[in-house]
Amino acid sequence: METSIDQFIQHISTNPFYQACLILIGGLLIAKLVNIIISQVVLRITRQTPSDLDDKIVHVLRPALFYSIQLVALALALDLVLPAHGYWPSLILKSLAVVLWMVFFVRTVKIVLRTFSNEQRTPLINAQTLPLFENFGIMVVLGAATYAFFSIWGIDMTAWLASAGIVGIAVGFAAKDTLANLFSGALIIADAPYQIGDVIVLESGERGEVTHIGIRSTRIQTLTDVEITVPNAIMGNTKIINESGGPSKKTGVMVSVGVAYGSDIDKVKKILLDEAAANNEVCREPAPSVRLRQFGASSLDIDLWFWITDPLQRGRMTDALNTSIYKRFQAENIEIPYSKQDVFIKELPVQK
């Protein structure tokens, strides 16, 4: 029996074909073993973490390791079977390994970025910027894979890099405005001076609700249902008033009114506060307030300050309060003066 085993071992040790077969079988068994360890041990550990990001990465890593082990075993087997002609098969196997891991890293980049976007771990990566970061990550992976592929086959990349540099300069000059909008869009999303749903006022005077923050532009819906599209390069270099900013979305509104000299100022203030309190859309906190702003040329100028929850309703609420205040002043016989001019005729023309 021992003699038979020794003969079998000696026969295998002198036959490269049998050795190659054993290497292939061993590689398959090792790959299966690694696959089982990942499935039974590693995945069980990752499932205990609060995030499923590591689970997804392990699922992608498992086939990459499985086939990589078999590629290594195949390369060793070919070196035994084809020792004099193993150069080209070795290059082909290395190229396959590059493609295999390129697919792994592309899938990993997508998984990581989409997880960050869905879980909102950083304001820089969201639904609007996700395609940009995905494309950038895929380009980086493809660039690294191309470099590795050229290095494996001994291709000189100097001329290719020089050509790519010239093309990049030309594209940069041709698309400088587009690139400026892209970078500004990324900075706007990262800095978050405004968000979707905020009411903003541009330096040029346009006012409306932000409906979309894209990579190239920002869209604003005005109160007249007109959509304004502003390039992000302009939005990043202009003064913007965010009426929805701050710790609360509440917005202060001022209504100015003038009453005649001699009016009961305490009564006027009480009427203004009563009209603000009677409107259910006026916030109770902060409470409305009244100030005698100045002594005008023909009236006592008084400001009523109140707060509303929706900045888009500023115009409608101003109209509502102005209307109710005017009707109340009429009922209370409080005069709202207006500019008057008296014309004195010194003499009439002589009748001829």
- Architecture in CATH of 190-242: Roll (2.30)
* pLDDT, average across residues 17-32: 86
Q: What is the pLDDT of residues 126-185, one digit of tens each?
A: 776 777 788 788 888 988 998 888 888 877 767 666 666 666 666 556 556 776 777 777
Q: So what's the pLDDT on residue 176?
A: 67
H-only helix segments in the chain: 2-13, 16-37, 43-46, 53-81, 87-119, 130-152, 158-174, 176-191, 232-235, 265-278, 314-331
Q: Is the pLDDT of residue 27 over 80?
A: yes
What is the percent of the chain with per-residue pLDDT over 70, rounded to a whole number? Answer: 84
Helix/strand/coil for 336: coil
Contact 278, 349 (CB under 8 A): no
Helix, strand, or coil (residue 208): strand
pLDDT value of residue 60:
92
- C-alpha R_g of the chain: 38
| The domain over range 251-331 is classified in CATH as 3.40.50.10800 | no
Q: Which two tokens stand for residue 112?
A: 């990581």
Pick 2 or 204 by higher pLDDT. Answer: 204
Q: Percent of the chain, pLDDT > 90?
A: 32
Residue 285 carries which side chain, given as an amino acid letter? Answer: E
Mind listing the pLDDT tens digit for each residue in 280-316? 999 998 899 999 999 988 899 999 999 998 888 888 9
| Residue 236 pLDDT level (bands cut at 50, 70, 90) | confident
Structure tokens at 107: 């899938």
- Asked whether the predicted pLDDT for residue 277 surpasses 80, the reply is yes
Q: The pTM is what?
A: 0.59
